[in-house]
Chains A and B, each alone.
Chain A
Amino acid sequence: DGGITQSPKYLFRKEGQNVTLSCEQNLNHDAMYWYRQDPGQGLRLIYYSQIVNDFQKGDIAEGYSVSREKKESFPLTVTSAQKNPTAFYLCASSKWTSGRAGEQYFGPGTRLTVT
């Protein structure tokens, strides 16, 4: 059964702690993305990766870090430098065809609460 998994679904952390959100896909997609969703706002791009061992910052990368050591995995670390980390985090992947990304397949999301 192909798809994207994110874990955990809910995550609670104390302020000042780093936390890593997991994202795994078995769709054999080259491109992977991390978005943040806040109430009343659209999805905002944090980081994306087109190939293994390569990734680029999106619009709101400050306070976040990623790695892409395997095609299937794209973990996101929310560091203590992120000023407002409480949000719904979505991971996505897409095929890469003729130099363009196609439709995005999203995971179920992780809701992070930092107090």
Chain B
Amino acid sequence: SQKIEQNSEALNIQEGKTATLTCNYTNYSPAYLQWYRQDPGRGPVFLLLIRENEKEKRKERLKVTFDTTLKQSLFHITASQPADSATYLCALDRVNTGNQFYFGTGTSLTVIP
């Protein structure tokens, strides 16, 4: 069955550094992948979407890569700020459906001032 893994439960980095979060998947080939931010006690907020034929996508300080050979997506936040502290979720569309998604368990990021 399809499986999604996100790297280590918690990631702590110093303000100004680049945070890199990982999303690995197995047993299928998604058509696209999304990243969301979730703050405690709130619903996730969409950040970026990348399609299988795209290698990289950028939005301001955010960058997402999608390596379909490695079955991995990397999510980068450059020049990180304490306000970037949150949990980040990756989501992949399900095979043979256009309307359902698998979500990873998320990586908790803390940016230390």
Q: How far is the CB of B49 from chain A (nearest CB, A)?
A: 6
The answer to whether B43 touches A107, judged by C-beta atoms less than 8 angstroms apart, is: yes
Contacts of B36 in A (CB 8 A): 104
- Distance in angstroms between the alpha carbons of A98 and B35 in the assembled complex: 21
Known: A48-B100, A103-B49. A42 touches B42 (CB 8 A): no
- What residues on A are CB-neighbors of B106 within 8 Å? 42
Q: Is A53 an interface residue (CB 8 A)?
A: no
Of the residues A43, A96, A109, A111, contact of B89 by C-beta under 8 Å: A43
Residues A101 and B4 in contact, CB atoms below 8 Å apart: no
One of A31, A42, A104 near B102 (C-beta < 8 A): A42
Select one of B31, B99, B103 contacting A43, CB under 8 A.
B103
> Within B19-53, which residues are at the interface with A (CB < 8 Å)?
31, 34, 36, 41-46, 49
- Residue in chain A with minimal CB distance to B42: A108
**Are A42 and B4 in contact, CB atoms less than 8 angstroms apart?**
yes
CB closest residue in chain B, given A91: B43
Contact assessment for A40 and B105 in the assembled complex, using a CB-CB cutoff below 8 Å: yes
Which residue in B44, B98, B100 is a CB contact (below 8 Å) of A99? B98
Interface flag for A14 (CB, 8 Å): no
Given contacts A42-B4, A106-B44, A108-B42, contact A100 B98 (CB under 8 A): yes
**CB pair B43 A42 closer than 8 Å:** no
A41 to B102, CA, bound (A): 12
- A25–B90 Cα distance when bound, in Å, is 23
Interchain CB contact under 8 A, B43 and A90:
yes
13 contacts between A and B (CB under 8 A): A42-B102, A42-B104, A42-B106, A43-B103, A92-B43, A100-B31, A103-B46, A104-B44, A104-B91, A104-B101, A108-B42, A109-B43, A111-B41
